[in-house]
Structure formats: structure tokens, C-alpha cells
Structure 1
């Protein structure tokens, strides 16, 4: 059986082909799944998709009409999938329930330290042989307060690093993580966390309840010199409100690996085009902001685990086995984060 893989990155392709070798043939495409590209899948019983695939009702109907039976998404999050429609169409949808949380947690800290110590600005200066330190002063993290919104696997990994820095730990979640409590984390309400934290990092899934979790009011509740990091989902932050606060001169730094309207932009080369997203265009001009293109998960270890799980999802499907990775027909909207 030949499997069609959408949205395969250059570094990912050899790993995907090697993992399926001797099991199934895999056709790798660098184009992402959209309503325009979905007809390519006609005749393919199994397709595998990337995190930014469009799996709305319209696309699902095109896939089902072309004979697709299994959609194996190569990510943990599934907020991009209309699971209700998939169930009605009789499609099986699987995801990767778990992969290395360290990839995302470590990258979140990379963003935090980069904006704190002005690494991007410093590197750009030295390329021009400008070795001044003006405007590059950062802050020690030891003794300062970190607020972790979401203390699941990734949030816990992030907290362990914060503990290593010697920081005061505040957490917010639906349920306390005993491992974080053991590290000294104090669970508080969101308002207290925002008001007291010097560094805030988001590690919650994107659900209707968390959409714009960091809205205009939340941003105003934060310290003027706080650092904000988001390596989870762009929809957690009201980006227009964030730009407004940045224009007012607030925040020491902001590190974003995800963006509210990243579909159609991230993972693509837009360098020769006029980007019509005024909010993003304004955001990247701030000297205290670092924006990366949803790469927090992108380590050899994590991608390898994602691919191995995807292969297992395909083998389970062909053997009529069920696992925790299957979202349709049973799924829990609360468990939806990368």
C-alpha cells in the first residue's frame, strides 16, 4: 500500500522514508494539505498530515470522496481537525499522543533567554563588526519568578529547567502536577500568576476555553518588564492587543514560536512576497520580540518519535487495532496540545 504524506519538511523526508521502508511505500509531498491540494489524495486510503494541515469539513469531504479512510496526523494537537465531520464520514483519525516534551520546553527557554539577553540584536550587530553593548543589558533569572500556564509533560519539563535556574515557581492548571509541586511550585489563580511573574510561559492546549487566554486584560495585568513566551498555540494570545502593549513600551521581551494567523505563512518561504498580515509585519519590527516559525518540536529526537508513532498508527489501522492515538470516534477535547 502506498501512503501519501503531506507537508513533509526536507529534514523530515529521509526519516519518514526510512521508518516506512519494508512496510509500506510512502510518497512525500512538501505541499500542505488544503482544499486546493486535497484532490491529490484521490485513490490513497491512508494520508498523513502535518500540524498545520487544513482538516476542516470541506477538506475531509474531499478526502473521503477520494477514498481516504485513515488520516494520521504527525502532531499531538488536533485543533485543526473537524472531528465531528470526520466521524460522520467514517474516517479514522489518529495523532501522536506523546513525544519528547524536552524539545518544546528547551526551545521555550531558548526564546526566553534570547529575548532576555538580546541575543538576536547582539548577533546582528557583530556581523557588522559593531561590538557595542548599548541596549544589550539583560537580567539574572535566579531569584526571579516564573509563571507556567499549563503544567503537563511540557510544562513540567519547562519547570524543571526553571528550578535549575533557581527561580520562584508559580503554576496555573486545572489540576496540580505532583512533580511540579515537589520542585516547589505554588499553584495560584491566573490573575496572581500574571501579576507576580517576571517570566510567563504558555504550555496549555488550544481549546474553546483557552482561546485568547492572554487577552488585552491579561496583558495589562502583567508586569511592565515581564517576558512572555508562547511555544504552544498562537490562538492563546490576542496578538493585536500584544502589539498595542509593545507599542506602549511594555515588556522586556516576547518570544513567539507560534502565531494566531500562522496558517498559510509558517513553514513557507514568503521572502519574495508582500506579506499582507499587518499585525505580523508590525510584530517582527519590535527589537524586543523574537518570532520563529513553529519549530519548537523540531528536533531529531522528537521528530523521530513522531514518525515512529505515525508508522505504528498505520500498522494498527491495517491490523484493525485501536490505540490511545485514535481520535475518532472517541476523543477528549481537553487533551489537545503540541
Structure 2
């Protein structure tokens, strides 16, 4: 079984090489993203392994089918970058890693909240420069604040359990209510009510046509002045232009994002010596109350191990011809 791995970083290769000895697989690691331009690299392979910013659209899938690819193995949970209908038409199976470490992402969301609130990143830089002043570093108590959680799947539920330990009141919106979270004290409300009542809003839902730009100018207008918005899910949940307007007019008090609408051109790359051709990300970086991390919420040892092992098992099931536990559609 020959597997082409796209969007490979050193840590991806390290973990695959660590665990693939027990499988009779032949891996080739490509640093480039998979898209219609690079899809011809898949000739001679049986499987492609892709990540969040690979563009597996209809044009790409047609080339994969022509090259004999039988499986698209996502090493992530989200699949908004894959045209599932096209994959089905072209008889290519698609599998994913549905739950690698909800704790990793949920904990990172809390880290963004704490850092934005208590400004520890700024305090660290000040002290290193010999500045021990507390001016402009004041925060607020999380205890007693109302946290709105949009999406209470595995990651959202884990986030609720963590933030409950800070003494927060939790309100949530999801199409499917969790009895376990209700027992925890989470109150399910309408989306508009979450927007109106929350002091902090954390996004934990997938990106699909119903959730695209779920945070837009209309939603922001309903929120409290000084709202904190956290996004560790998918960049397309937020309308970037609208969020910039909200920051500029001081409606939004804090923004913490680990994902970005146009991240495929930026994230996972070292652009420190380059001119960044994205005015919106530069504008976001310019705000003192914005904290951006480059899609690292998932990035823990435990998550990387689970992603690798689940991906290898998904490919093994495909090779064996058995039912694919993590197949989409």
C-alpha cells in the first residue's frame, strides 16, 4: 500500500515513522499542499493523506480518481475542505480522525481566554525588558462570568467542563442538547440569546453552510460591549471583515483565534522574512486586544499519537477491505 502524505511538516513525518513499522505501508512525504495543481504527484499511489488546508475539491478528486487513488485519509476531524459528493461520484472513500484529543483543543481555548484577560504574554515581554509596571495589564475575574459555548460536541463539552471549574455560568447553543451537560449546569438557549447574554463566546462547531460566518455584523450587534470571542474551530465561522469592524469600533473587547479564514496561505509556514500579502491578518495583528495562534490548538503529544494511530488504522481497514469505522458518507 503506497501512501502520499501532503502538507507534511517534520513532526508529521516523525510520528508516522515512529508508528508505521508494524504496518506494511510505503509512505512518501510531500511538503506541498494537495490541490488540482499538485494532484498529479499522486500517480502510482493507492492512498492520499491530507490535512486541514489541502484543497480536495472536485477538480482535485477527478485527478485522484484518474491516478487510481482509492482512499482520502484525513488526519484531522474537520472535512469542509473535501468535496464529499465528488468523492462519492468518483468512488473514492474518505475517512477522518473524528476525536483525537478534545482536551487539547478545549485547553487551548481556555489558554487564549486567560492570556487575553490577564495579558500574561505582554507581562512576559515587559519583564524581559526590565519593565515591571502593571499599567494597562488589568484583567477581570472569570468567576461569575457568563460563557457562551456554540457547539457542544466532544470538544465543546470538554471546554464546558473545564470552564465550569472557574466558577463560570455556562450557556450554550447546539442543535442537539447534551443531558450530561445539562446535569453539569449548562443552560441551552437560542443562538441570539447566547449572543446577547454571554461575556465570553467560544466557538466549537464544524464549518458547514449553516455555520459559515455564524459570527457576523448582525451577530456582533447583539453582543455585549466588550465581548470576548474565542475561535479554535474553523476560520470560516467568523466573517473577518465584520470582526475587524467590531474591534475598530470597540464593540469587541478581546479576540482570540487559532484559526483564520484565509489560513491556508499563511499557517504552518515561516513567513518571518517575507512580506505577508494579506491585509486582513495584518490588521488583526495590529490590534492590542487580539491574540492569534497558528492552528496549534490540537498540537499535543497525546493528540499527535492519536491522529497517527487512527490514520494508520483507517488505512489498514481500507487495505483489508473491511468496513471503515471512520468513513464519511
TM-score range (shorter-chain normalised) is over 0.9
Which SS does the other structure have where 1:71 is aligned? Answer: strand
Summarize the alignment of residues 46-195 of structure 1 with structure 2, pairs less than 5 Å apart.
46-195=47-196
Which SS does the other structure have where 2:256 is aligned? Answer: strand
- In 2, the alpha carbon distance for the partners of 1:241 and 1:119 equals 27
* CA deviation after TM superposition for structure 1 residue 194, in Å: 1.2
- In 2, the alpha carbon distance for the partners of 1:321 and 1:4 equals 21
* CA deviation after TM superposition for structure 1 residue 52, in Å: 1.3
* CA deviation after TM superposition for structure 1 residue 78, in Å: 0.6
Structure 2: runs of 5+ lacking an equivalent: none
- Report if the CA contact (8 A) 1:116-1:252 is conserved: no
Which residue of 1 is the match for residue 220 of structure 2? 219
Question: Which structure: greater helix fraction?
Answer: 2
- In 2, the alpha carbon distance for the partners of 1:279 and 1:19 equals 40
- In 2, the alpha carbon distance for the partners of 1:149 and 1:22 equals 40
- Report if the CA contact (8 A) 1:121-1:287 is conserved: no
- In 2, the alpha carbon distance for the partners of 1:19 and 1:6 equals 18
Q: For 1:307-326, what per-residue CA distance to the aligned partner results, in whole angstroms no more than 9, with x for missing partners?
A: 11111111100111113311
- Report if the CA contact (8 A) 1:230-1:256 is conserved: yes
Which residue of 1 is the match for residue 255 of structure 2? 254
- Report if the CA contact (8 A) 1:118-1:288 is conserved: no
Q: How does the TM-score come out when normalised to structure 1?
A: 0.94
Which residue of 2 is the match for residue 16 of structure 1? 16
Which residue of 2 is the match for residue 230 of structure 1? 231
Structure 1: runs of 5+ lacking an equivalent: 332-338
Q: Which moved more, 1:299-308 or 1:265-274?
A: 265-274
Which residue of 2 is the match for residue 26 of structure 1? 27
Which residue of 2 is the match for residue 271 of structure 1? 272
Count of paired positions: 328
* CA deviation after TM superposition for structure 1 residue 252, in Å: 2.8
- In 2, the alpha carbon distance for the partners of 1:119 and 1:251 equals 20
Which SS does the other structure have where 1:284 is aligned? Answer: helix
Which SS does the other structure have where 1:12 is aligned? Answer: helix
* CA deviation after TM superposition for structure 1 residue 155, in Å: 0.6
Please provide the CA RMSD for this pair. Answer: 1.2
Q: Which has the higher contact order (CA 8 A, sep 6+)?
A: 1
- Report if the CA contact (8 A) 2:226-2:250 is conserved: no
Runs of 4+ in 1 over 6 A off after TM superposition: none
